[in-house]
Amino acid sequence: MSDETSADESERNASVIVIGGGPAGLSAALFTAKNGLETTVFDADETWMHKAHLFNYLGIGSVGGSEFMATARQQVDDFGADRRQGEEVTAVGDSGEGFVVETSVASETQRADGDSAEQSRGKSESSRPSGDDVSRDSADRSSGRRSREEAADDDGEYEADYVVLATGANRDLAEELGVDFAENGTVDVGVEMETSVEGAYATGAMVRPEEWQAAIAVGDGAAAALNILSSERGEHYHDFDVPADAERVFGELVAE
C-alpha cells in the first residue's frame, strides 16, 4: 500500500449503510450524515407510512404518512446522505473489516422523486462502492432517471464500517447477518440498538413485538446513529443545535 493511499485512508470518514428508508432508517441516516459520516440508504419504498396518517407524532398536528416521508427524505438529502431509492439489499454479511451488502435495482424508478442533478453530484463515493462502480455511478446520477437496462447494470456490492438494519418487521437480513434474536422473535438489542454483531444495529419494527409507532422508530434510528457517532469519536456524543446554528445551516432562508 502506498503512502498516499495510507494518508487517504486515515483521513476517511467512517461509512454507514442503512438498509431501509422508513422512519427508523431515515432517522439514523439524518444523524450520521449531518455529523459527517458517509451515509448510504437503500430503500425498497414499501414503508408502512404510505398507508398511515399521523395524528400522534408529537409536534405535528396532522400529516399524511407519504407527506411525512417526503419531508424526511428531503431532510436527509439536504444533509448529504446518498439515498438510493428503489435499490433493494439482497444480501448482507461481515466483510472482516466492516460489512458488505449486495443490492438489486427493482425497476427503472431509480432515484428519489425530485432528485436533481445538483443533489446527485458529489455523492458517488459516499458508500465506498467496491469494484469499478464509482465512475459509472457518478455519470448515472448526474443524468437523473435511468433506463431499465442502465438500472439493471447498477446492481452492486457496497462496503461500509457500520450497518443499520431498518427493514421494518422483516427480519430476514438480520437473520442472515447472524445477530442474536430474543425469545419473542425480535432482534435482540439494548437502548443503543446495537445487535450482538459489533457495528451492526437493528431499529424500528424488527426490534419490537407489535408496539409499532413512527415516533418509536425515529427514536430507534437516532439512538443507533448516536451510538455509532460515540464509537467513532471515542466518547459519548449528542447532536445539540442552538438558534445560531439555524442561520449557519439555512442562511437567509431561516425563519425569524
Ligand X SMILES: Cc1cc2nc3c(=O)[nH]c(=O)nc-3n(C[C@H](O)[C@H](O)[C@H](O)COP(=O)(O)OP(=O)(O)OC[C@H]3O[C@@H](n4cnc5c(N)ncnc54)[C@H](O)[C@@H]3O)c2cc1C
Smallest separation (angstroms) from ligand X to the CB of 124: 19
Between 74 and 213, whose beta carbon lies closer to ligand X? 213
Distances (CA, A) of 235 to 13, 77, 89, 229, 232: 17, 27, 31, 9, 8
Residue type at position 4: E
Smallest separation (angstroms) from ligand X to the CB of 159: 16
C-alpha span between 195 and 174 (Å, rounded): 9
Between 129 and 204, whose beta carbon lies closer to ligand X? 204
Q: Residue 236: helix, strand or coil by DSSP?
A: coil
C-alpha span between 57 and 35 (Å, rounded): 25
Smallest separation (angstroms) from ligand X to the CB of 197: 17
Between 62 and 135, whose beta carbon lies closer to ligand X? 62
Between 15 and 85, whose beta carbon lies closer to ligand X? 85
Interacting residues toward ligand X by CB under 6 A: 19-25, 42-49, 51-52, 54, 56, 88-89, 166-168, 170, 173, 204-205, 212-215, 217
Q: Which of 89, 57, 85, 63 is nearest to 172 (CA)?
A: 89
C-alpha cell at 167: 427493514
Smallest separation (angstroms) from ligand X to the CB of 228: 17
